[in-house]
Amino acid sequence: MAKIIAIANQKGGVGKTTSAVNLAASMAATKRKVLLVDLDPQGNATMGSGVDKYDVEFSTYDLLVEDTPLDKIIITETIGGFHLIAGNGDITAAEVKMMEMYGRELRLKNALSKVTNDYDYIFIDCPPSLNMLTVNAMAAADSVIVPMQCEYYALEGLTALMDTITQLAKVVNPDLKIEGILRTMYDPRNRLANDVSEQLKHHFGDKVYRTVIPRNVRLAEAPSFGAPVMYYDKSSSGAKAYLALAGEMLRRSNKTKAA
């Protein structure tokens, strides 16, 4: 049965979508069956997977509102070797329409329950805000990965996000937990980054991934070529970091199962 992981941060520009796409590709490279759900109306995860968001027949909108069969919605051909449920501007309308629906916060959970046995991992790229789409992601997920930059305001925002996740867990998903905190766009020469990184480890302990995603030009360029970084430049530090992250997650998962 798939482990469902939401990738979320209320703050934009922290490498959330970059992490969703590249983690999905890295897990797929380890021969895991992976589904990526683009829940962000910007559709960046879709474009970064090599799929034109303007040219898809079905999107997350159809999943949440129209009850379209999943075999019609899921795109099985992506550059990263994972399956995709595409996102685009239509998702904004989905949020409005869901407001009138019974059990609206469980629409995504109920839809994904039909395919959980087909995958090892399902990653959900959340929008950078707390709205009905994010609530759906949190209700559907087993856990949350929080990507964040090591800067002062990010640390402040993380506390607020943790409170939000705790509150959502009480209301829609009592089993929801933090999968891990991922340090992104990391520059070890930056003293503040190192200070914040130490504070993170002090407060959150082993919830902070040992793997750090560096600030990397290739990582920033890859989305404009519609490819995960490992298919754009596999020798780049960004590609190696996300493969290392996938390895760390698998080791953690094996330890948990053994315990």
Q: State the distance between the two ends of the chain, measured CA to CA, in whole angstroms.
A: 18
- When pLDDT is cut at 50, 70 and 90, the band that residue 259 belongs to is low
**DSSP calls for the chain:** -PEEEEE--SSSSSSHHHHHHHHHHHHHHTT--EEEEE--TT-HHHHHTT--GGG-S--HHIIIII---HHHH-B---TTSSEEE---THHHHHHHHHTTSTTGGGHHHHHHTTTGGG-SEEEEE--SS-SHHHHHHHHH-SEEEEEEESSHHHHHHHHHHHHHHHHHHHHH-TT-EEEEEEEEEE-TT-HHHHHHHHHHHHHHGGGEEEEEEEP-HHHHHGGGGTS-HHHH-TTSHHHHHHHHHHHHHHHHHHHHHH-
- When pLDDT is cut at 50, 70 and 90, the band that residue 19 belongs to is very high
- Measured CA to CA, the distance from residue 98 to residue 104 in angstroms comes to 6
CA gyration radius for the chain?
17
Per-residue model confidence as pLDDT tens digits over 222-250: 999 999 999 999 999 999 999 999 999 99
- Measured CA to CA, the distance from residue 140 to residue 118 in angstroms comes to 16
pLDDT at position 233 is 96
Highest mean pLDDT pick, 53-67, 141-155, 182-196: 53-67
Q: Which residues pair with 149 in a beta bridge?
A: 184
The answer to whether 214 and 150 are in contact (CB under 8 A) is no
- Check residues 154 and 92 and name the one with the higher pLDDT: 92
- Measured CA to CA, the distance from residue 105 to residue 85 in angstroms comes to 18
Let me know the angle formed at the C-alpha of 227 by 56 and 146, rounded to the nearest 5 degrees.
90
The answer to whether 6 and 138 are in contact (CB under 8 A) is yes
- When pLDDT is cut at 50, 70 and 90, the band that residue 153 belongs to is confident
Per-residue model confidence as pLDDT tens digits over 32-70: 999 999 999 999 999 999 999 999 999 999 999 998 999
Superfamily of domain 3-258: P-loop containing nucleotide triphosphate hydrolases (3.40.50.300)
pLDDT at position 65 is 94
pLDDT at position 155 is 75
